[in-house]
Amino acid sequence: MDSRPVYQLADGATRPRRLRTTPALRRLVSENRLHAADLILPMFVKESLTRPAPLTSMPGVLQHTLDSLLAAAREAVAAGVGGLMLFGIPEVRDEQGSQADAPDGILNRALRLLRDELGESTVIMADLCLDEFTSHGHCGVLADDGSVDNDATLDRYAAMAVAQAEAGAHILGLSGMMDGQVAAVRHALDATGHHDVVVLAYAAKFASAFYGPFREAVDSQLVGDRRTYQQDAANGREALRELELDVAEGADIVMVKPGMPYLDVLADAAAASPVPIWAYQISGEYAMIEFAAQAGAIDREPAILESLIGFKRAGADAVLTYWATEVAQLLNGRDAERS
């Protein structure tokens, strides 16, 4: 028999475990909570499809037809998801990304469909970038030497902004990381009377290995990388400079992307930002959890929820996640059980 004395805490000692004793007590003292309205669902619509196509690198995520996009959007809205972010995949690409601002381009058709069908019951967002539309897969037009021409790209972004606003987007997500993109888009919107369209600036978008599955999702044509315009993963202070510039140019909301590998940047940006700040839980983050769960390495549902609460703890006001509808439905079910 072990005769060693059992250590006893002194009378009146602080015991943080007191606040963890029951699920109800833990819920009552929780510092951060997930709500369905905090979640935004990224969605892919592909012009050439006649039926939805599953993605091998992102289990459970589809490339949609217009019909399946609308059905999935309605499901998300019914679950209370805060908004929908649309990405378009055209049948024909060219060097200028001409389909990006064509009124009958797939993304603009999808925006018009959702705005007509869903109206103001949700927030409809458009990815404003050329990479899905260009034959070379870069986020801008190319100069003669093959580099991305920043200022020529701004002209294309301005045209896209007007087209997406006219198609019904409430929010435009500027994800191209071109210098001056926020000012160019805000000017184009205001000059055409679209004063109420919101500009979401991907203020800190890093060049990342975690974008891999997204390349499948948009049938990316990219050869090479985007390191001359997306941020270097080693730089945190630079992200704050980008945020400051975007806010000064008129950004209404700012974004940090990717999410989990950059929670430190998100926390710093949230502390500094005078406007709402969002985060994007990107394709590689999604795939890691899904495939780890399939392998039996982690418990899927708790891992999803833990990853999302991490964004809230770091300061995100909203999170783009491919689990938005599923998590919203889960949260609704838990709320119903408690009522």
The answer to whether 289 and 307 have CB atoms below 8 angstroms apart is: yes
Residue type, 21: T
Furthest-apart CA atoms within the chain: distance in Å: 84
The catalytically annotated residue of 46, 112, 226, 257 is 257
Integer Cα distance of 319 and 317 in angstroms: 7
Write the DSSP symbol of residue 49. -
Residue 257 annotated as catalytic? yes
Integer Cα distance of 47 and 141 in angstroms: 22
Torsion of the alpha carbons at 211, 213, 218 and 219, rounded to the nearest 10: 120
Integer Cα distance of 110 and 164 in angstroms: 10
Q: Which of 46, 66, 83 is nearest to 218 (CA)?
A: 46
Residue 312 annotated as catalytic? no
- Name every residue whose Cβ is closer than 8 Å to that of residue 34 and which is 6 or more positions away in sequence: 305, 308, 309, 312, 327, 331
Radius of gyration of the chain (CA): 22
**What is the DSSP secondary-structure string of 12-67?**
T---GGGGGSSHHHHHHT-S----GGGEEEEEEEETT-SS-EE-TTSTT-EEEPHH
The catalytically annotated residue of 112, 136, 156, 205 is 205
Torsion of the alpha carbons at 120, 123, 124 and 130, rounded to the nearest 10: 150
- Name every residue whose Cβ is closer than 8 Å to that of residue 284 and which is 6 or more positions away in sequence: 208, 209, 210, 211, 212, 213, 214, 258
> What are the strands, taking DSSP E only, across 3-70?
39-46, 53-54, 62-64
Integer Cα distance of 299 and 9 in angstroms: 35
Helix (H) or strand (E) holding 291: helix 283-294
Catalytic residue set: 205, 257
